[in-house]
Amino acid sequence: MSPTTQTKAVKSAFHRGAAAAAKKKLQEEVEPLAQKMSLYCRLQQESSNVLAQDVTRRDKMLAMVAQSHHPNVSHTLDPNAFGSGEKVDELLAQYDAFFAQTPVTYEDHFLRFSYATAAAIMFDEHKVAPLARRGDKEQLVYIKRMNELMDEWLKPMAMAMQTQAAPVSPQNAPNDLTAIASSGSGDAVTDAEANTLLNSPGDLLKQWFVQIFNLSEDDKGVWKVKSLTMKDDGRFEYEVLLADYDATIVVTMDELRMLMMESRLSRM
């Protein structure tokens, strides 16, 4: 090997080593952020499922919180409503101490839902956003890790739901949600597509729908699944948000499948 070739090989190895070190450093920086945010999201969703068992009671309690104007539990997407940056670490520590307790009553779950919502918004604004603003690479690594953690959490639910959802024949089953999205040109969701969504709770919770059958001419019928709850008997119930009415309804798996087949996918 000539000296020139040796020099190029050394430089190439150096660059590969530097790139690997930078990647590892970024992953180590992202990991605690993704772990903490996924925790807040899981706690919020778990307690949301409990609250969905009595939506009237939940909505009354939410109204009381809104009327109290308490800055640290106010249901708003404005992170500044939860206090200034100087107080973030102090507030997050208080929330984390509360989350260490196991909720027992409906009120416990309401508080955990409220605090987890606030904590997630604060954490995203003051801890995650500075990393994401550094560049696309940082943002993509964080999103990828978050998706992995949330998919891991949702996997047991998906496995349980597969025993309830109707089997999908190989001839008619789309391979993934991309196939569903690309196949629709305003057409209603098919039975096979509905079962694919039911077997993928993470994707189902992200999807918006537009009802196209059994509606009046002026009604758009925009809706999405807000949360899902496993009942004591192993069956699932779904809280559906009706965007046009700013209201929610609770439906069974069969009712949700029927609603999906009366709707098309939305790209909201």
Statement to judge: residues 139 and 195 lie in one domain: no
Statement to judge: residues 26 and 146 lie in one domain: yes
Structural domain contains residue 6: no
Structural domain contains residue 173: no
Statement to judge: residues 24 and 123 lie in one domain: yes
- Per-residue pLDDT tens for 156-194? 665 555 555 544 443 443 444 444 344 444 678 888 888
The percentage of residues in the chain with a pLDDT greater than 70, rounded to a whole number, is 67
Statement to judge: residues 205 and 246 lie in one domain: yes
Statement to judge: residues 135 and 261 lie in one domain: no
Statement to judge: residues 155 and 210 lie in one domain: no
Structural domain contains residue 159: yes
Statement to judge: residues 18 and 147 lie in one domain: yes
Structural domain contains residue 198: yes
Statement to judge: residues 123 and 227 lie in one domain: no
The percentage of residues in the chain with a pLDDT greater than 90, rounded to a whole number, is 7
Structural domain contains residue 68: yes
pLDDT interval class at 87 (50, 70, 90): confident
- Per-residue pLDDT tens for 50-73? 888 887 888 888 777 766 655 555
What lies within 8 Å, CB to CB, of 105 at 6+ separation is none
Statement to judge: residues 153 and 199 lie in one domain: no
| C-alpha 89, offset from chain centre | 24
Statement to judge: residues 89 and 213 lie in one domain: no
What was the pLDDT predicted at 54?
85
What was the pLDDT predicted at 17?
61
Statement to judge: residues 158 and 234 lie in one domain: no
- Find the domain containing 228 and state its range: 191-266
Structural domain contains residue 248: yes
Q: Report the range out of 5-14, 82-91, 191-200 with the highest average pLDDT.
A: 191-200
Structural domain contains residue 29: yes
For residue 209, what is the domain's CATH number? 2.30.30
When divided into structural domains, the chain yields a total of 2
Statement to judge: residues 16 and 119 lie in one domain: yes
Structural domain contains residue 174: no
Compute the average pLDDT of residues 118-127: 86
What was the pLDDT predicted at 258?
85
Backbone angles phi, psi at 110, to 5 degrees: -65, -45
Give the predicted TM-score (pTM) of the model: 0.54
What was the pLDDT predicted at 172?
41
